Amino acid sequence: MQASTVVLGVIGADVHAVGNKILDFAFTNAGFTVINLGVMVSQEEFIEAAIESDAAAILVSSLYGHGDIDCRGLREKCQEAGIGDIRLYVGGNLVVGKADFTQVEKTFKNMGFDRVYPPSADLDEEIAEIKSDLGIG
């Protein structure tokens, strides 16, 4: 596995491109090899890209409030595809309305995500956490 390679994209029918570009920039600057799939990315595209690139993590963004339905089953599909151990991260405006974040976090962790980030997450802290998860300095 390539510890510093991550697959990045905005899941589902979500066309929010700005955050995606910022994440690409920030993770690249932090020393990651970023495979950026852009917007409107399906679960299959994330998985196929992770297989070819031997990525250590998939970073899923969702801004339009349908993250719950879009992300369901991603972990299981990774397991079926032979990359069940890959780290999964998700962040953004994951559900519609002002839901309690601890509840949102629980939902996505139950789905198999390793870490869940709210819209207010600090990008530097986020990157530091992910680096430590992946064992890179």
Partner 1 sequence: MRYILCADFGSTYTKLTAIDMQDLRTLGTSAAYTTVQTNILDGYANALDKLEKDIGRLDYDKRLAASSAAGGLKMIAVGLVPRLTSNAAKLAASSAGAKLIATYSYDLSDAELAEIFDYKPDMILLSGGIDGGNKDVILNNAEKIARIECSFPVVVAGNKSAADEVARILESGGKEAVITENVMPELNKLNIESAKAAIRELFIRRIIDAKGLAEANAMMSLEIIPTPLAVFNACEALSDFGTLTAVDVGGATTDVYSMADGLPENSAVIEKGLREPFAKRSIEGDLGVRYSIDSLIKEAGIERIAAASGASPEDVIEHSRKCAQDTSAVFPPGSTDAKIDNALAGECVRISMNRHAGRLETVYTNMGEVQIQTGKDLTKTKYLFGTGGSVINSDAPEDIMAKALYSKADYDILKPENPKIIIDRNNILTAMGLLTRVDKKSALSIMKKELMNKEDM
Residue 74 and residue 58: Cα distance in Å, rounded?
Answer: 10
* Gap between the Cα atoms of 44 and 10, Å rounded: 13
85 is catalytic: no
Q: Segment 118-137, which members bind partner 1 (CB under 8 A)?
A: none
Question: Tokens at residue 73, please?
Answer: 């089953």
Q: State yes or no: residue 101 binds partner 1 (CB under 8 A).
A: no
* 134 Cβ neighbours under 8 A, 6+ residues apart: 3, 4, 56, 57, 87
Question: Contact region for partner 1 (CB under 8 A) — 18-26, 63-71, 104-112, 113-121?
Answer: 63-71
Q: Is 14 a catalytic residue?
A: yes
**Three-point CA angle 95, 122, 111, nearest 5°:** 40
Which of 10, 49, 86, 95 is the binder for partner 1 (CB under 8 A)? 49
Among 3, 30, 51, 134, binds partner 1 (CB under 8 A): 51
Which residues sit at the interface with partner 1, rule CB under 8 A? 2, 5, 13-15, 33, 35, 37, 39-40, 45, 48-49, 51-55, 64-66
